Structure 1
């Protein structure tokens, strides 16, 4: 089987890659930066430039991981009010990309779903039947994976499998746990505006305020998510995203938080932090 071409569209850049799913390797990989503010033509042009930077076969099936809100089945942006991609609101991205990339088919999926599928295919979730995958960064991304694919409906998962819609003590989950929430909590306590990596460093060094900020955020998050982990019957939670890079701080607090929420589950760091979404998009491109 030929390597599968994929795009992973993020907030600051696009990654294009050729993925060999059988060998679990990325054969070719290129990144194209995205401007902070861009119109529709500029954004689509950047996507096309990224796709053309890899040696994809003509008439290949492509997988494209992109943040929501998005109509993944139809390939149409639903980015009203989302500053970064608002220019793509209502745009048929599939119709724009297929001829430009000489693609036979393009299948879109949510970036958190791509991460989860990738960890199930080639990472920490291999061999597990039911897994919850979380990405911690700007917000809290999530996917509930059963036998390698996302579960998007039913009473065992939140709406669309997305935990960011949950609340804790009357506040949205991401008001407790996100980059902005952590920075705000530390600034309110100290008057200092530090980024997450610095707050993690202080917690690592035993700073009591920094430790309290992390504990409060992660206890709130696990209290909200824990019941859904139990309901789904997951035996593993895989955690990725930029904030998970401070795993020595985050990991033990997550384990304790899920235990306090009566969710008996192993909590592990993602194994394919940098390329799980690429493997997930490749698997999705050829999924039945």
Structure 2
């Protein structure tokens, strides 16, 4: 029987430490705590927070770890590549794996890194909205477009239908990367250009539900474009389900109809079942897969 798997998940402003049980029929998080992380913190401060999370979990020496990190990051080497992206700049060229391993009181087993969007996708595949499907595309819609192309429990970075490095933001739509059309900033910018009002996405969505024609048309156009941009990837990847997570997915009722029109093909559309725990479960599954 496999013991609980320790994982750390790093977001734009947080670190989550958790223990994940993979032994039951349905993987689950058995212990979890979150710390605040400043995106402009020093490398030393960042590693110290990682080690605080590890100490709180208090696992035995020789245990394998899964660590989910946002990109750009060299996941095989465990080294940050955060240059010109406005976050974690102090980690650019910094060996996070070596510093984390050296700071633990006893030697761990493997320390395995993976992309945070891949962790989300693997978690939804193992225990969430993509469970029971062989091939799934899982998106996180918010400040950008995160993605995981999961086939038989593996997040792919290449192959038919998979954009470069498995990252949907590299998909070009309307002559620009997809995030220029489908992201929080793009939707806010679009509404401001049409009305002169600077509202957030949830406010625009509320107006659309209340009958605001401008808000409704903007969201219709945005998510139909998302479907049209994704359609060839869904086809070529052979996706059976498309799962949406991230802050914008809270407006799934407004997203689903235009997205389905744009896709123009038979694929199951679902909102993420457990966006809080999915990256943790995915990180654990990945740490135990090699």
Distance 1:223 1:269 in 2: 19
Once the two structures are TM-superposed, the CA of residue 284 in structure 1 deviates from its matched residue by 0.6
Q: Map residues 146-161 of structure 1 onto 2, 5 A cutoff.
A: 146-161=151-166
1:284 aligns with 2:286: yes
Q: Greater CA deviation, 155-164 or 190-199?
A: 155-164
Aligned: 1:8 with 2:9:
yes
Separation of aligned partners in 2, 1:36 and 1:70: 15
Query: What is aligned with 1:172?
Result: 177
Select 1:143's aligned residue among 142, 148, 168.
Answer: 148
**Are the equivalent residues in 2 in contact too, given 1:98–1:104 (CA < 8 A)?**
no
Aligned to 1:68: 71
The Cα offsets for residues 125-179 of structure 1, whole Å up to 9 and x where unpaired, read as 1121111111101101111111011121123311111110111121221000001
Structure 1 match to 2:228 = 223
Distance in 2 separating the partners of 1:246 and 1:190: 21
Give the Cα separation in 2 of the matches to 1:252 and 1:158. Answer: 24
The count of corresponding residues between Structure 1 and Structure 2 is 285
Indicate whether 1:54 and 2:57 are aligned. yes
- Greater shift, 278-287 or 205-214, is seen at 205-214
Deviates more, 1:153-162 or 1:26-35: 153-162
Which position in structure 1 is the counterpart of 2:18? 17
Please say if residues 17 and 30 of structure 1, whose CA atoms lie closer than 8 Å, have aligned partners that are also in contact.
Answer: yes
Equivalent pair of 2:224/2:260 in contact (CA under 8 Å): no
What TM-score comes out, normalization by structure 2 length?
Answer: 0.95
Give the alignment of 1:173-212 within 5 angstroms: 173-212=178-217
Question: Alpha-carbon deviation of 1:58?
Answer: 2.4
Is structure 2 residue 88 aligned with structure 1 residue 85? yes
Task: Judge conservation of contact 1:5–1:62 (CA < 8 Å) in 2.
Answer: yes
Q: Which runs of 5+ in 1 are unaligned?
A: none
In the TM superposition, what is the alpha-carbon distance from 1:65 to its structure 2 partner? 0.6
CA displacement at 1:98 relative to structure 2: 1.5
Give the alignment partner of residue 259 of structure 2, picking from 251, 254, 258. Answer: 254
Shift of 1:226: 1.0
Q: TM-score under structure 1 normalisation?
A: 0.95
Q: Which residue of 1 aligns with 2:132?
A: 127
> In structure 2, how many angstroms separate the alpha carbons of the residues matched to 1:78 and 1:278?
22
State the 1:235 CA deviation.
Answer: 1.3
Q: Secondary structure at the match of 2:64?
A: strand
Q: Deviations over 1:232-282 (max 9, x none)?
A: 1111101111111222222233222212xxx32111111111110000000
Superposition pairs of residues 227-246 of structure 1, within 5 angstroms: 227-246=232-251
